[in-house]
């Protein structure tokens, strides 16, 4: 293969790779369309519409009446099925979560295509296409549950089998903490944002911790996930960020913590050390000008922190610091020669510390 062929192959791989990783942050809607007698309906036009953006995806059923709509962004959808000789059936209120394969089956009714029958998806969508074990933490929980430091990974503890790990706790604090899923190594967790790897190899922690107000939802998968998550054997953290819609929405927030508002711990002598933390920011999302296909979402978060640290320690008394170990009642030796006389003579001139 010459250099032109290698260049073309490299470009193809670069274009394919982001799409492959991006599949793990999207969802899929599948289903079977049947007629009133229970027979499979072929060549039925199925339209899947994203409620927030108004973008529509059209697919058709096969000879077995099945349809598949892959690579859908998490969010709310409505599914519409229409065919000659049948009324148009619409199921709305379908909430598709990250990396979810939701089944939406529709039974057509005899009638005119112009007749509209709308059904609300009030029941939970059946997920029967995979056996993944995990939990989806939606935006309501992310925004409304109290979080110290606004680290979203603290909510991973809501997933069954996930517990806080004390290993290298200080090392993981700024990146959201360390946790273990079903006893696996915390350093083997994998974190992704919108299908892109977001982890520090060798440490198992995330490189970037997004603001809570930019996260639409995230999923913790602890077992039996598919081959798309084959990088490590521990938990898979799949984060999906918010995206703009056809309407403009924004928010602003400010959180503060001050030691003057904190209670003094029982064993804390005197006053509390200084602690000032301010976290603030804003978000804005919508469509770009008058376009109905291009959308944006902007977010900013700032943090200002001043923190004083106190610690209780024990120091040697003045005599020992000056080289006089008489009060210890122990025999002191020179660690190099084990000569007590030489060590004592040296102590008269300069303090020497050793074991006893």
**Which of 68, 58, 57, 72 shows the shortest CA–CA distance to 33?**
68
Per-residue model confidence as pLDDT tens digits over 56-80: 999 999 999 999 999 898 889 999 9
Give the integer Cα–Cα distance in Å for 133 and 114.
42
Q: Rounded distance, CA 185 to CA 165, Å?
A: 9
Structural domains of the chain, with CATH:
3-120 (2.60.40.1120), 133-241 (2.170.130.10), 249-307 (no CATH), 314-356 (no CATH)
82-141 pLDDT, tens per residue? 999 899 999 998 988 888 888 899 999 988 877 788 888 755 555 555 656 678 888 888
* pLDDT average, residue stretch 9-21: 49
The mean of the pLDDT values for the chain is 80
Residue 270's CB is within 10 A of a number of other CB atoms, namely 7
Average pLDDT estimate for 261-284? 85
Contact 48, 26 (CB under 8 A): no
Q: Is the pTM of this model over 0.85?
A: no
Which residues share a beta bridge with 164?
A: 179
Tell me what the mean pLDDT of segment 15-39 comes to.
73
Instruction: Tell me what the mean pLDDT of segment 174-200 comes to.
Output: 79
pLDDT band at 150 (very low <50, low <70, confident <90, very high): confident
């Amino acid at each position: 293969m010459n250099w032109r062929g290698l260049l073309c192959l490299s470009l193809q791989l670069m274009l394919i790779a982001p799409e492959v990783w991006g599949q793990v942050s999207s969802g899929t809607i599948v289903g079977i369309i049947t007629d009133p007698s229970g027979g499979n309906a072929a060549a039925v036009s199925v339209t899947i519409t994203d409620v927030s953006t108004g973008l529509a995806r059209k697919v058709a059923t096969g000879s077995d009446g099945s349809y598949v709509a892959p690579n859908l962004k998490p969010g709310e959808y409505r599914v519409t099925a229409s065919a000659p000789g049948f009324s148009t059936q619409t199921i709305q209120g379908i909430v598709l979560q990250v990396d979810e394969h939701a089944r939406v089956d529709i039974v057509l009714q005899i009638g005119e295509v112009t007749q509209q029958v709308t059904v609300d998806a009030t029941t939970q969508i059946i997920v029967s296409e995979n056996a993944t074990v995990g939990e989806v933490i939606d935006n309501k929980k992310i925004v409304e549950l109290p979080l110290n430091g606004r680290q979203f990974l603290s909510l991973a503890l809501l997933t069954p089998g996930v517990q806080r790990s004390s290993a290298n706790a200080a090392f993981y604090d700024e990146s959201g903490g360390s946790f273990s899923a079903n006893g696996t190594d915390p350093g083997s967790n994998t974190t992704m944002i919108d299908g892109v790897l977001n982890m520090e190899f060798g440490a198992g922690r995330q490189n970037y911790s997004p603001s809570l107000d930019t996260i639409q939802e995230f999923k913790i998968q602890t077992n039996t996930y598919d081959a798309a998550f084959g990088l490590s054997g521990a938990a898979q953290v799949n984060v999906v960020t918010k995206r703009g819609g056809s309407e403009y929405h924004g928010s602003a927030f400010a959180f503060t913590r001050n030691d003057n508002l904190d209670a003094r711990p029982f064993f804390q002598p005197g006053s509390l050390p200084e602690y000032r933390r301010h976290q603030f920011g804003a978000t804005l999302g919508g469509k770009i000008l008058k376009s109905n296909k291009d959308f944006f979402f902007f977010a900013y978060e700032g943090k200002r922190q001043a923190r004083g640290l106190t610690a209780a320690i024990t120091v040697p008394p003045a005599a020992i610091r000056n080289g006089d170990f008489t009060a210890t009642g122990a025999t002191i030796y020179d660690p190099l020669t084990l000569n007590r006389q030489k060590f004592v003579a040296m102590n008269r001139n300069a303090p020497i510390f050793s074991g006893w």
